[in-house]
Structure 1
């Protein structure tokens, strides 16, 4: 039995529980239908034990789930049991950060909106180091370097053979915050410009002149799964990632991101805007 399920394993269990509850069954009733004890159903739904594809299909059948796309998506989650690169940080960094990397790695598409920091996947090494130096409580130099290396390794999703499409909205405030001074900021802005030239990265800027807008003040990271029900929202908080996956929450943040993207400059206008800020440094 797993001592500490990963975020992906926990999410799989949550979705199993949702299917059971929609069928109007208790864990005891579900166990009786499958010929197993109630605690085995509970352990599956808590992510503490694995579920084979055959058992998943049996559960879906007993729960009258006819959505083949959902069953296939859950099947892909339970079939993939490879250990990701983030596991090397298991005893070094907080578990929610590892969950973030795992969810990010498996996402089909990414949407981001930030107002103060450059999105983590777009940060240079020097910029990330300056951000982590501001953490409270203060991090030790080794801890800072572990977090920096972890953040840079996460960026592999943008450069692998089939890179993950990423649509990002950045507020002008984030572009003008000089973490590390003008030299670091100039390099960071040039890195943004280079990334924005990549076909799979859509970078938009919300200028100060846009005034107030929906979602202002938040840092939102939205991970699209194989089906909308398996999307995940991460709200970047000072104490670490906060993950949301309730259907009402997912819909709320889809709307918020849509409004922010509609408020922002288009891709070409955003590149010109970033270039002008960098030029004036």
Structure 2
């Protein structure tokens, strides 16, 4: 199998999980290679996502590393095998690779949790609202790039409409509801769309009103993608230079707690619907 030159975030994650299994077994990469009867370079390439691994190889590695967590093993197995081209591949030479990685992680998630303070979550954005967001990028994006990013975002939203759809729990601060990106007309249409989305059974929106005061995690956007088992969850922090993926156990635990505490500071879904309706009336 040829060595990859640019593994995706999902492929990197498989390698990282294999490295964790080896390290928990107390083995160096050289010791693991000797135990497995392969070259040390092969172990390194598997753990950096540069060399693909089959489902059988994952199970064999787990056995040699004395991993008894069957759910975790099958979760990793589900991330391996022959790479299938997702719809995002058509953007491979058009958009930054990290955005394609985000779409791939999103596509395979079993649950999405978002917390935002300034923008409406991307999967809920209308095209006009998204266009205003992209127009604020630094450096300024050419009009053609903006349109590519809008079409990419719209296609990402398909995870909310497929059968079965991916559950989405969103925590939105009042500031995000009142920011008038594109003026009152665009904002009103965006909030009405958000209200329509809250009517779907798999979507829960919690609003944190200004009156709630301070709350944990304020000032940052968090995007949490659940895997088939908790160990395979992923946190995405949206930075000006692009998404940043986190998957260390301590990091995952921290952001689970942050999201739980932020949700505890927010209104219930039904009260949040009423709140969004009131904001629309104020426009």
User: Fold match, TM over 0.5?
Assistant: yes
Moved over 4 A (4+): none
Alignment partner, residue 180 of structure 1:
182
Residues 244 and 97 from structure 1, CA distance in 2 versus in 1: closer, same or farther, beyond 3 angstroms?
A: same
- Structure 1 residue 79, shift from structure 2 partner: 3.1
Number of equivalent positions: 281
**Aligned mates of 1:83, 1:65 — CA distance in 2:** 30
Matched, 1:155 2:145: no
What SS class does the counterpart of residue 169 from structure 2 fall into? strand
Deviations 1:190-249 (A, max 9, x none): 000000000000001000000000000010000010111100000111110011111111
In the other structure, the counterpart of 2:66 is: 64
Counterpart pick for 1:257 among 259, 265, 282: 259
CA shift for structure 1 position 55: 1.1
Partner of 1:132: 134
Name which of structure 1's ranges 21-30 and 114-123 shifts more when overlaid on structure 2.
21-30
Mapped partners of 2:159, 2:209: distance in 1: 28
Q: Deviations over 1:98-155 (max 9, x none)?
A: 1100000000000000000000000000000000000000000001111111111100
Q: Deviation of residue 270 (structure 1)?
A: 0.3
| Distance in structure 2 (CA, Å) of the matches to 1:54 and 1:252 | 33
**Aligned-pair CA distance for 1:161:** 1.0
- CA drift of 1:80 comes to 5.9
Contact 2:52–2:81 (Cα < 8 Å) also in 1: no
Distance 1:191 1:60 in 2: 46
Given candidates 171, 174, 180, the residue that maps to 2:173 is 171
Q: Distance in 2 between matches of 1:139 and 1:253?
A: 32
Partner of 2:209: 207
Give the root-mean-square deviation of aligned CA atoms: 0.7
For residues 251 and 277 of structure 2, the distance between their equivalents in structure 1, rounded to whole angstroms, comes to: 35
Q: 2:87 matched to 1:85?
A: yes
| Cα distance in structure 1, aligned partners of 2:271 and 2:55 | 48
**Counterparts of 2:105 and 2:22, CA distance in 1:** 24
| Offset of residue 39 of structure 1 | 0.2
1:25-55 Cα shifts (integer Å, max 9, x gaps): 1111111111110000100001011111111
Q: Shift in Å at residue 188 of structure 1? A: 0.2
Mapping for residues 96-135 of structure 1, pairs under 5 Å = 96-135=98-137
- Counterpart of 2:245 in structure 1 is 243
